[in-house]
Structure 1
Amino acid sequence: MKIFPKFFLSYWLSFCAVTLLIFAVGTYTFERDLFRFVTRIETAQLQTFASEIEYYYAEVQTWDFLKENPRMADLILRQRRSFDENLIILPNVINENRRFRFSFNTNRDIERPGRLYLLDESLDVVIGDKSVMNQMLASEEIDKVLKERFILSAINHEGKQVGTLALLISERLYEAIDLAFARSNNQTLRFSAIAGLLFAAIISLVLTMNMTGPIRKLARGTRSLISGEFKTRVSINNKDELGKLSRDFNILAKTLDKNSESQKQWLADISHELRTPIAILKSELEAIDDGIREFDKETLQSLTHEVKRINNLVNDLYELTLADLGAMKYQMREMDIGSCLEDVVDSYRDRLESSEIELSKSIHSVSNFLGDSYRLEQLFSNLIENTLRYTDSPGKLNVQLIEEKNNIFITFSDSAPSVETEVIEKIFDRFFREELSRSREKGGAGLGLAICHEIVEAHSGQISASLSDLGGLSIQISLPRGDS
Structure 2
Amino acid sequence: MSRRGEPARHARVTPSATLRYAVDVRPLDRLTTIRTKLGVLVLASVTVSSILVWAGRSYNGRWYMTFPVAILLSLLVTQVLARGMTSPLREMTAAARAMSAGDYSIRVRTTSRDEVGQLGHAFNAMAADLAQLAEAQRAIVANVSHELRTPIAALRAQLENMVDGVTEPDEEALEAALAQTERLTRLVTYLLDLSRLEAGAAGLHLQRVRLRDVVEEVVAAAAHAARASGRTVEWVVDVPEDLDATLDTERIHQVLLNLLSNASRHSPEGGTVRVVGRGGQHGGVVLDVVDDGPGIPQHERDRIFERFERGTGAPNAAGRSTGGTGLGLAIARWAAGLHGGSLAAIDPGERDGATLRLTLPDQPPTP
264, 272, 296: which one aligns with 1:419:
296
356, 363, 369: which one aligns with 2:233:
356
The answer to whether 1:15 aligns with 2:15 is no
- Give runs of aligned pairs for residues 388-427 of structure 1, distance below 5 A: 388-401=264-277, 402-427=279-304
Displacement of 1:231 after TM fit? 2.6
Which is bigger in relative contact order (C-alpha 8 A, separation at least 6)?
2
The answer to whether 1:434 aligns with 2:311 is yes
Which residue does the alignment assign to 2:121? 247
Q: What is the rounded CA distance, in whole Å, between the counterparts of 1:15 and 1:432 in structure 2? A: 59
Displacement of 1:228 after TM fit? 0.7
Which residue does the alignment assign to 2:160? 286
For residues 302-354 of structure 1, the C-alpha deviation after alignment (integer angstroms, 9 at most, x for no partner) is 21221122112112212221222223342233444454335434554676796
For residues 179-232 of structure 1, the C-alpha deviation after alignment (integer angstroms, 9 at most, x for no partner) is xxxx97996887897776555423321221111111111111111111111233
- Give runs of aligned pairs for residues 174-189 of structure 1, distance below 5 A: none
Q: Which amino acid aligns with 1:387?
A: A
Kept in 2: contact 1:15–1:197 (CA 8 A): no
344, 347, 352: which one aligns with 2:218:
344
Q: Which amino acid aligns with 1:388?
A: S
- Give runs of aligned pairs for residues 310-349 of structure 1, distance below 5 A: 310-337=184-211, 339-345=213-219, 348=222
TM-score, normalised on structure 2?
0.73
Where structure 1 has 5 or more consecutive residues not aligned to the other structure, the ranges are: 1-6, 28-182
Which residue does the alignment assign to 1:307? 181
Which residue does the alignment assign to 1:472? 353
Kept in 1: contact 2:264–2:273 (CA 8 A): no
SS in 2 for 1:441: coil
The answer to whether 1:458 aligns with 2:342 is no
Structure 1 residues 288 and 234, CA gap change in structure 2 (3 angstroms): same
257, 276, 285: which one aligns with 1:381:
257
SS in 1 for 2:107: coil
Kept in 2: contact 1:414–1:468 (CA 8 A): no
320, 324, 327: which one aligns with 1:444:
324
Displacement of 1:379 after TM fit? 1.3
- Give runs of aligned pairs for residues 178-257 of structure 1, distance below 5 A: 197-257=71-131
For residues 135-176 of structure 1, the C-alpha deviation after alignment (integer angstroms, 9 at most, x for no partner) is xxxxxxxxxxxxxxxxxxxxxxxxxxxxxxxxxxxxxxxxxx
Structure having the larger proportion of residues in strand: 1
Kept in 1: contact 2:210–2:241 (CA 8 A): no
Q: Which amino acid aligns with 1:418?
A: G
Which residue does the alignment assign to 1:164? none
Q: What is the rounded CA distance, in whole Å, between the counterparts of 2:206 and 2:364 in structure 1? A: 11
Kept in 1: contact 2:45–2:74 (CA 8 A): no
Q: What is the rounded CA distance, in whole Å, between the counterparts of 2:90 and 2:276 in structure 1? A: 58
SS in 1 for 2:111: coil
The answer to whether 1:481 aligns with 2:366 is no
Q: What is the rounded CA distance, in whole Å, between the counterparts of 1:13 and 1:362 in structure 2? A: 73
Structure 1 residues 300 and 340, CA gap change in structure 2 (3 angstroms): closer
Q: What is the rounded CA distance, in whole Å, between the counterparts of 1:292 and 1:352 in structure 2? A: 30
Kept in 2: contact 1:19–1:197 (CA 8 A): no
Kept in 2: contact 1:397–1:415 (CA 8 A): yes
Q: Which amino acid aligns with 1:232?
A: I
Fraction of identical pairs, as percent: 27
Structure 1 residues 208 and 308, CA gap change in structure 2 (3 angstroms): same
Q: What is the rounded CA distance, in whole Å, between the counterparts of 1:200 and 1:366 in structure 2? A: 81
Kept in 2: contact 1:12–1:204 (CA 8 A): no
Q: Which amino acid aligns with 2:195?
A: T
For residues 367-403 of structure 1, the C-alpha deviation after alignment (integer angstroms, 9 at most, x for no partner) is 4x44312111111111111111222234333333322
TM-score, normalised on structure 1?
0.57
Q: Which amino acid aligns with 1:381?
A: L
Kept in 2: contact 1:361–1:400 (CA 8 A): yes
Taking only aligned residues, the RMSD between alpha carbons, in angstroms, comes to 3.6
Displacement of 1:257 after TM fit? 2.1
Displacement of 1:448 after TM fit? 1.1
Q: Which amino acid aligns with 1:415?
A: D
Where structure 2 has 5 or more consecutive residues not aligned to the other structure, the ranges are: 1-33
Structure 1 residues 12 and 456, CA gap change in structure 2 (3 angstroms): closer
SS in 1 for 2:180: helix
Which residue does the alignment assign to 2:26? none
Q: What is the rounded CA distance, in whole Å, between the counterparts of 1:288 and 1:217 in structure 2? A: 63
Displacement of 1:477 after TM fit? 2.6
Greater C-alpha Rg: 1
Displacement of 1:455 after TM fit? 0.7
Kept in 1: contact 2:295–2:354 (CA 8 A): yes
Structure 1 residues 12 and 421, CA gap change in structure 2 (3 angstroms): closer
Structure 1 residues 225 and 481, CA gap change in structure 2 (3 angstroms): same
Q: What is the rounded CA distance, in whole Å, between the counterparts of 2:221 and 2:39 in structure 1? A: 80
SS in 1 for 2:330: helix
